[in-house]
Chains A and B, each alone.
Chain A
Amino acid sequence: KQEVTQIPAALSVPEGENLVLNCSFTDSAIYNLQWFRQDPGKGLTSLLLIQSSQREQTSGRLNASLDKSSGRSTLYIAASQPGDSATYLCAVSSGMNTGFQKLVFGTGTRLLVSP
């Protein structure tokens, strides 16, 4: 059974700092890994998608890496801004014995960037 864990659970940093969010998963047989952002009371916004064959993806100040063999992913945020404050969710797409895939979410990291 796939389990996804994110650390830290919460993180508070001053504006301008670079930071790393961690995600680990127990079953390395994944199709892809997706990082989402969720603002309070809002839906999920997809940030980055890494295929199982890829090592990293970049979008603006965000960089996500994937080490499938060790079951780890990191989300690096450069030069953090107050607008980055949100909950960040890691999710892995795994296959099931039916042949279909299922997205399993981590517990989330709540980020607060102070001005």
Chain B
Amino acid sequence: DTAVSQTPKYLVTQMGNDKSIKCEQNLGHDTMYWYKQDSKKFLKIMFSYNNKELIINETVPNRFSPKSPDKAHLNLHINSLELGDSAVYFCASSQELHRVYGYTFGSGTRLTVV
């Protein structure tokens, strides 16, 4: 009954590889997000999708490509991984049309590029 689930939880890969992180929410929310938490633990938004449409793209390198096949799923594909991509990536969801509700976050994916 996990509300926002991400897979995998840990990902270790070599520089130059391509990898994907998947996210699913069962809350019926219409908006999903990807956040990046850097080594200093600061959380910053990367992307947001509302009903499968991209609404936020915070100047993230185009090696990062989000895809939302439906409003319950938001996947993140990363091409040509670099050392600086090592971070914890969090997926989140919210109900945009009813802003009285807050955000629900997944448990994170710790990406390590070696």
A interface residues (Cβ-Cβ under 8 A, vs B): 31-32, 34, 36, 38, 41-44, 46, 49, 51, 87, 89, 91, 93, 96, 98, 100-105, 107-108
Contacts and interface: CB of A to CB of B under 8 A. Distances in A.
Given A34-B102, A89-B43, A100-B96, A42 B48 contact: no
Nearest to A42: B107
A51 B42 CA distance: 24
Given A32-B102, A100-B50, A100-B56, A43 B107 contact: yes
B103 to A, nearest CB: 5
B31 to A, nearest CB: 8
Interface bin, chain B? 20 to 34
- Listed residue (B33, B55, B106) with the most chain A CB atoms within 10 angstroms of its CB: B55
Contact of B96 (A42, A87, A101, A104): A101
A113 B31 CA distance: 36
A85 to B, nearest CB: 15
Contact of B102 (A49, A96, A104): A49
A46 to B, nearest CB: 6
Contacts of A96: 56
Given A42-B108, A96-B56, A103 B103 contact: yes
B111 to A, nearest CB: 14
Contacts of B33: 103
The A interface, classified by DSSP as helix, strand, loop or mixed, is: strand
A105 B81 CA distance: 26
B108 A43 contact: yes
Interface of B: 31, 33, 35, 41-45, 48, 50, 55-56, 90, 92, 94, 96, 99-108, 110
A93 B99 contact: yes
Contact of B105 (A41, A43, A98, A100): A43
B97 to A, nearest CB: 10
A93 to B, nearest CB: 7
14 contacts: A42-B107, A43-B108, A46-B103, A49-B102, A51-B100, A93-B99, A96-B56, A98-B55, A98-B56, A101-B99, A102-B48, A102-B56, A103-B92, A104-B45
